[in-house]
Amino acid sequence: MKRLLVFIKKEFTHVLRDKKTLLILFGMPIVQVLIFGFVLSNEVKNTNLLVIDQAQDSATKEIISKVQASVYFNIASVTFDVKDVEASFKKGKSKAALILPKDFEKNLMTKHVAQVQILADASDPNHATTIENYLTAIIRDYTNSLNTTMPYTITPEVRMLYNPQLKGAPNFVPGVMALILMLVCVMMTAISIVREKEMGTMEVLLVSPFKPIMVIVSKVVPYFILSMLNIVSILLLSVYVLGVPIKGNVLLLFAESALFISTCLSLGIFISIKTQTQQVAMLISLMGMLLPTVLFSGFMFPIENMPFPLRMISNIVPAKWFYIIVKDIMIKGLGFAAVWKESLILMGITVFFLGISIKNFKIRLA
């Protein structure tokens, strides 16, 4: 036991003395959370909007002020001429235009029907759709506020559950958690074990009473602890900086994270056993783990839209299951009953890789 403690202490010393590793370990999660949370969001904020108000009555004024009040739009200018729209789009001065035609209020009051036109620059289709949704919502809001009972009107009442404002961060935080744990646990453990081989220290350790399996255990413990610290820092960032609350049980979230960390560590051990140099270990971790995590975990590209073979592949990517678990617990606030299946799959993957790692562990060189 004392030997194991000394070994673990040694591993911590390695990590703490290597400034680059430290930077990767603690700098990267913070940077990634912030990048994904702020920069890479698909939210639409402060879109420049051109308003063509041909009616200029109290109803249109009210709509314009409602649009102005929302954080999503900046009203670039209010004009009268429809021709301005194209010029403004082409110069990139605005991304959308709201056209309120003549006699807007009159039509609304007398015919109970009034039309507005929304023009959006659809060179970025996602952006255009989002703008359209926001504007429609604002106008619907206005219509409702008129409180006129209109016969035979069906108004769909859309509610975006769990993420009502369609914020990007709730979607990204679970994904980033999966990504970072994958990177830190898989790559760092793989490299740190292979480093012993490459530096020749494994040769000395093998010719000692120290059981090889203990080498692995002592490598895993520090990275497990460091990864848990990373989880804490990611969660703190997401709650206090990105404003994504943890709806579910925090303890359950930590327990599931610990499970996923174990999965990643077992993968890292497996890679380290199969490779001989740090470079190869790093390449395999990056290409073999990071890429599938980004592609198949579902947080960047929806898995439902993938062709069948790729959907099958996504099933063996551990990050996919962790992503589902974190979303369920953190965003939806569900309990263990909702995620036990995913947890079981992760456990299975962990046991599988640990098993073949132990079976493949070489007690000799070559």
Residues at the contact surface with another protein, assessed by CB under 8 A: 2-3, 6-7, 10, 13-14, 17-18, 199-201, 203-210, 363-366
Nearest distance, CB of residue 191 and another protein, angstroms? 14
**Measured torsion, CA atoms of residues 62, 63, 64, 70, in degrees rounded to the nearest 10:** 110
User: Token pair for residue 54?
Assistant: 């041909």
Nearest distance, CB of residue 14 and another protein, angstroms? 6
156 versus 209: smaller Cβ distance to another protein: 209
User: Token pair for residue 265?
Assistant: 């560590």
Nearest distance, CB of residue 218 and another protein, angstroms? 10
**Which residue in this structure is represented by tokens 């309120």?**
100
17 versus 159: smaller Cβ distance to another protein: 17
Q: Could you tell me the CA-to-CA distances from 305 to 170, 204, 311, 314 in Å, in that order?
A: 21, 52, 9, 12
Give the number of other CB atoms < 10 A from CB of residue 60: 23
Nearest distance, CB of residue 227 and another protein, angstroms? 21
Nearest distance, CB of residue 234 and another protein, angstroms? 28
Residue 75: strand pairing partners: 49
210 versus 361: smaller Cβ distance to another protein: 210
Buried b (16+ CB within 10 A) or exposed e, 63-100: bbeebeebebbeebebbeeeebbeebbeeeebbbbbbb
Nearest distance, CB of residue 9 and another protein, angstroms? 9
User: Token pair for residue 92?
Assistant: 């990139």
3 versus 106: smaller Cβ distance to another protein: 3
Question: Residue ranges of the alpha helices (H) in 158-200?
Answer: 169-181, 188-199
207 versus 337: smaller Cβ distance to another protein: 207
Task: Name every residue whose Cβ is closer than 8 Å to that of residue 196 and which is 6 or more positions away in sequence.
Answer: 202, 205, 215
Residue 147, exposed/middle/buried by CB under 10 A (0-12, 13-18, 19+)? exposed
Nearest distance, CB of residue 201 and another protein, angstroms? 5
Cα–Cα dist 347/349, whole Å: 5
